[in-house]
Structure 1
Amino acid sequence: MKKIIWICMIGGLLSTIASPVNAQKRVARFEKEFQKTLALVNSDQFTVKFYIATPTVQTLFTPPGAGANIDINPQACYLSMNDSLVTSKLPYFGRAAWTSKSQLDSISINNVLFSRTVKIYQDGKKQAIAYQITVRTGEDIYYLNMDIQYDGTCYLYFSDRKRAPISYVGQITKRD
């Protein structure tokens, strides 16, 4: 009986010691991944491939998962930064597309960016990046607000003067 009590006490002691160690390792891993993602964003040499589109309804931004999510092909939906040149092909789904799920329009950009803002913020226990760019074309101004998580997951909120806002979910990678 005494052996069982000693084994339980030792097991309890080891679990309380191991828990903070695991937490520290997890925090260190999050920080390492965040620094890698931040370096990629600051290099302005990256591509984001999107795999989910979420048309908005009445609010300015629809958080991913809160609307009618549409699965899209990441090879056909991307945003690429090459220093100050922004290139993108984003499928746009309007209100009529919600019933048929067919692509109505696409947004293509191949212009120099007008403005760029990068801010680091705390997202719970992890850090994230708020990346905002504005691109002017001859006929329109595009506003692209991206939340980039520590692991490279990106949430893009796209708006312009002609369309209802739409959001995309994707993953940031190094430019090919």
Structure 2
Amino acid sequence: MKTKLFILMLFLALSLSVSAQEKTKKELKQERELEKQKEVQSLLDTKNFVFEAQKVTPQGGRLIQLDYNTYFLKFNTENTTCDLPFFGRGYNVGYNSDGGIKFEGKPENIKIENKKKSTILKATVRGKNDVYDLFFTIFFNGTATLNVNSNNRAPIYYDGLISAPKEEKK
């Protein structure tokens, strides 16, 4: 009888010590979220990231899901490149324009404001034919919204993700 009791106690002690060492799903989720938050914060600190648009909402319009991940804005303090679709009203757009928001230029007046659960990044970029005001709201889970205001077009809003830029092969 004592032997059975001893074996049972030994089994219980081993099972409790093994289960105490394993992390719960909640702890693992918190670790992943913290890791993602650090990654996003490092992208904001370097001011070098890529915004990939997934949804677009034109002014006075409804939400449009974008196919593929081909629409982007590469933000860098030296050179910002944008290729985003545009749905909405154009005020003074040339006839040779392909309709999208496409520009390349150096961002000016970069301002970053940290909030409790997000970061606001504002910048102005002078393109070839227009001036674009960019207003990012970047959340710590990697999602972001981008508001683009320009002189020649109605405001437009994009939802998407930010990530680190991919290394270019030389």
Structure 2 SS opposite 1:105: coil
In the alignment, structure 1 residue 86 sits paired with structure 2 residue 86: no
Aligned counterparts, 1:4-19, within 5 A: none
Corresponding residue for residue 138 of structure 2:
148
**CA shift digits 1:62-100 (9 cap, x unpaired):** xxxxx51111135321000233210010100016xxxxx
Among candidates 73, 77, 82, match of residue 71 of structure 2: 77
Structure 2 residue runs without a partner (length 5+)? 1-23, 90-97
In the alignment, structure 1 residue 35 sits paired with structure 2 residue 38: yes
Corresponding residue for residue 156 of structure 2:
166
Number of paired residues? 136
Task: Write the letter of the residue equivalent to 1:38.
Answer: Q
TM-score, normalised with respect to structure 1: 0.67
Q: Which has the larger radius of gyration?
A: 2
Corresponding residue for residue 100 of structure 2:
106
Report sequence identity in percent: 24
Distance 1:138 1:80 in 2: 17
**CA shift digits 1:94-134 (9 cap, x unpaired):** 16xxxxxxxx7101111111221111102xxxx21101111
Structure 1 residue runs without a partner (length 5+)? 1-20, 58-66, 96-103
Structure 2 SS opposite 1:142: strand
Corresponding residue for residue 60 of structure 1:
none
CA RMSD of aligned residues (A): 2.5
